[in-house]
Structure 1
Amino acid sequence: MSDEFDEFEDMGPVDFLVIEFPGNRMTGKGLPMLLDLVDRGIVRILDLVFVRKDADGSVVGMTLRDFDADGELDLSVFEGSSSGLLGQDDLDEAGAALEPGNSAGILVYENLWAAPLARELRRGGAQLVAGGRIPVQALLASLEAEEAAGGTAAA
């Protein structure tokens, strides 16, 4: 077994997010929280890429300097966050979800907190066969519908 395979065998689950910034306006409000998650060893950033969707629908990659042109937002800590996992097809797919005139950050991260569990499950022969994410908005809508129907939501 190669060392590279051993490294992947010990990894936690890997997820991605596409975060849209209307009007190409990134405030940086979530950056301290992301840095805290990294500093505490909860997640490891594998890739962080920014794209812009122009009015004609074309998707263009952006550098961190493009986002930081006004000097208000220090993104230099993320420079070099590129594992090479994301290709142009991924950027185009993420861009398809954007409204023209908006930009997005595409974040690929490893869930370090889950690595020991994932490793032991794999060693026991288990494998992940499905996964997903339920958006908070969908949970809230479901709870509101349940309440409107006269049901009670579980605490």
Structure 2
Amino acid sequence: MNDNEFDEVGPIDYLVVEFPADRPPDGSALPMLRDLVDNGIIRVLDLVFVRKNTDGSLAGIAIDDLGLEGGVDVTLFAEASSGLVNRSDVEEAGAILEPGCSGAILVYENLWAAPFATALRRGGAQLVASGRIPLQGIMAALDSLDADS
């Protein structure tokens, strides 16, 4: 990617999702992810599946080997490999997974925010902080407010 192409890129985020040991990924969320891509909201850069064995070792899982139900077309996701996720990223994500669980690492570009981000960069601005509040944190804060009133 040259500098001019980089000027047009939206913010890039990642997330790690853990699937319970007794319920491996079934593919039910992939159609929603596909809709986000098809509607130009995000671009999937990397999607990596990993399993943390009960002894703590990690094993990569090809999306084709997940045995997803419902005839999910995984072509888009099987080809999502920008190279941004490396072995140390997989190990770091695997460290937070519970033994016996599998997980997915998703790296995506926020296409919806690209024009906004581009305008800010062209104006000399730069992102200096970013974050995300997990739903559990929001629920805990709301519960705390209810308890105080």
TM-score by length of 2: 0.93
**Match in the other structure for 1:4:** 2
Higher Rg: 1
CA–CA distance in structure 2, aligned partners of residues 88 and 51 of structure 1: 11
Partner SS for 2:82: coil
CA–CA distance in structure 2, aligned partners of residues 11 and 94 of structure 1: 25
After superposing on structure 2, the runs of 4+ consecutive aligned residues of structure 1 that deviate more than 2 Å are: 70-77
Shift in Å, 1:72: 4.7
Asked if structure 2 preserves the Cα contact closer than 8 Å seen for 1:53 and 1:95, the reply is: yes
Provide, for residues 98-145 of structure 1, a one-character-per-residue CA deviation record: whole Å limited to 9, x for no partner. 001111111000000000000000000000000000001101110111
Asked if structure 2 preserves the Cα contact closer than 8 Å seen for 1:14 and 1:108, the reply is: yes
Asked if structure 2 preserves the Cα contact closer than 8 Å seen for 1:64 and 1:76, the reply is: no
CA–CA distance in structure 2, aligned partners of residues 18 and 92 of structure 1: 12
Structure 2 letter corresponding to 1:132: G
**Match in the other structure for 1:101:** 100
Provide, for residues 22-78 of structure 1, a one-character-per-residue CA deviation record: whole Å limited to 9, x for no partner. 11611222111111100000000000010010111011111112212x665532331
CA–CA distance in structure 1, aligned partners of residues 37 and 15 of structure 2: 16
Structure 1 letter corresponding to 2:20: P
Task: Indicate how the Cα distance of structure 1 residues 33 and 72 shifts in structure 2: closer, same or farther if over 3 A, else same.
Answer: closer
Number of positions where the alignment pairs a residue of Structure 1 with one of Structure 2 = 147
Asked whether 1:148 is paired with 2:138, we answer no
Which one is further off, 75-84 or 50-59?
75-84
Which one is further off, 19-28 or 50-59?
19-28
Give unmatched runs, 5+ long, in structure 1. 151-155
Asked whether 1:56 is paired with 2:55, we answer yes
Structure 1 letter corresponding to 2:138: L
Structure 1 letter corresponding to 2:13: D
Give unmatched runs, 5+ long, in structure 2. none
CA–CA distance in structure 1, aligned partners of residues 70 and 39 of structure 2: 25
Structure 2 letter corresponding to 1:123: R
Asked if structure 2 preserves the Cα contact closer than 8 Å seen for 1:48 and 1:105, the reply is: yes
**1:11-26 matches, cutoff 5 A:** 11-23=9-21, 25-26=24-25
TM-score by length of 1: 0.89
CA–CA distance in structure 1, aligned partners of residues 131 and 69 of structure 2: 37
CA–CA distance in structure 2, aligned partners of residues 102 and 138 of structure 1: 23
